[in-house]
Amino acid sequence: MHATVSQSTVSGSVAAPPSKSYTHRAIFAGAYGGETEIHRPLVSADTRASMRAVEAFGAQVEQEDDSLTVSGFGDKPAVPADVIDCANSGTTIRLAMGVAGLVDGATVLTGDESLRSRPQGPMLDAIDQLGGHAWSTRGTDQAPIVVEGWADGGTVRIPGDVSSQFITSLLMAGARTDSGIEIALRSALKSGPYVDITIDVLAAFGVAVERTDVGFVVPGKQEYETPADGYTVPGDFSAASYLLAAGAVAGGEVTVEGLFPGPQGDSAIVEILERMGADIDWDEANGRATVSQSALSGITVDVGDTPDLLPTIAVLGAIAGGTTTIENCEHVRYKETDRVAAMAESLERMGVTVTEERDTLTIHGGESELTGATLDGRGDHRIVMSLTVAGLVADGETRISDAEDVAVSFPAFFDVLDQLGADLATE
């Protein structure tokens, strides 16, 4: 599917979509526990992959209206009857590898072409350190992956700068081992707020995690408790970043409701917009952010903890005056696609001057005039959504392929933009 976007003015009030990160973790936490009702989950391609994964281990997931009911797999997950296809979801395959460590047998996990290109080596090594066995069928560090369990727990040394999802997986599974897991980070933790989200979800399910000078400890023999009133998923700042950016560059006035930050690192989008000079009002107590079209100026942003914001920031930088420098971004190359290169190449096609280095992306907005172009969405939901925002202000039409991939994290994205008045069509 292609999306075609023309210059538009957007305005109105919309609700933030539910958080993908929280939904994934709540589904797995529910599967480790008894029976949990998850209120206001994000039901998307990625989170459906997590639902299928936990069902493969013996859990049950039922969807009704705006909730999911997850019935856990009991004391021990079952040996999956078939290969688990995690589709495009890196979170799913990594969290499922942790569950697989508790299985009395072998688990095979794979995904689509994009997922099969992403590194899993640190988790394979962690499972081996814990007494299990995990390997790639291709002799690389990429899926398809086979895992044979390590169920007792122990100590593991793991890098912190490849993906925080490995730490999340170990914490969630470690609580169900006999002796727990002690995690020592071999390198500085990037995307740390995502581990904070994990700890927040675990606390809601009665699972304790301790921070140490070198990493984390999750004690063993813990039970996942069912939250008394179920678990409610908060709004997603990652997805809301596109709506707030649209208001800042193509408003009108756009209000996004349901934004309560908690440990979400991507709430930094509010501060980033403020630093760039956007007219933004964030009523944190009521979870409401309102932004209007503003003259933006380039800034320097470190995305070590907020990798998913890079595409949004890159587009803002292309429209802003001056230079925007995105630093500490090498780990963003290991997402659904190499997002650093994808944004550099896409913005250059739109007439923007860009300097790409391994760990830095510099956008020379003051030297550029944004022009519509035909762009490759690269099968990446965040690339598609960010380029759509660019198309709202580019001269002429912007046509983006793979538009259907917004279903990974924000299925209603184009409907919401249409509601706000964007001139767009999908076909």
Q: Residue positions in the annotated binding site for phosphoenolpyruvate?
A: 20, 90, 118, 165, 339, 382
Cβ proximity of 269 and 291 under 8 Å: no
User: C-alpha distances in angstroms, 319 versus 11, 297, 360, 384?
Assistant: 19, 9, 18, 17
Between β-strands 3-6 and 398-400, what pairing exists: parallel, antiparallel or unpaired? antiparallel
DSSP codes, 291-313: EE----B--EEE-SS-GGGHHHH
User: C-alpha distances in angstroms, 317 versus 301, 314, 321, 383?
Assistant: 10, 5, 8, 15
* Residues paired with residue 63 on neighbouring β-strands, in sequence order: 68
Residue type, 206: G
What does the block give as tokens for 206? 């009665």
The whole-angstrom separation of Cα 279 and Cα 291 is 6
Question: Is residue 308 annotated as part of the catalytic site, yes or no?
Answer: yes
Of 236, 305, 308, 405, which residue is the catalytic one?
308
Cβ proximity of 197 and 54 under 8 Å: no
| Angle (CA) 329 50 158, round 5° | 45
Residues 6+ apart with CB under 8 A from 285: none
| Angle (CA) 16 18 24, round 5° | 155
Q: How many residues does the chain have?
A: 427
Residues in binding site for 3-phosphoshikimate: 20-21, 25, 163-165, 191, 308, 335
- What are the two backbone dihedrals, phi and then psi, of residue 317, each rounded to the nearest 5 degrees? -65, -35
What distance lies between CA 213 and its chain's CA centroid?
Answer: 26
Cβ proximity of 161 and 331 under 8 Å: yes
Catalytically active residues, by annotation: 308
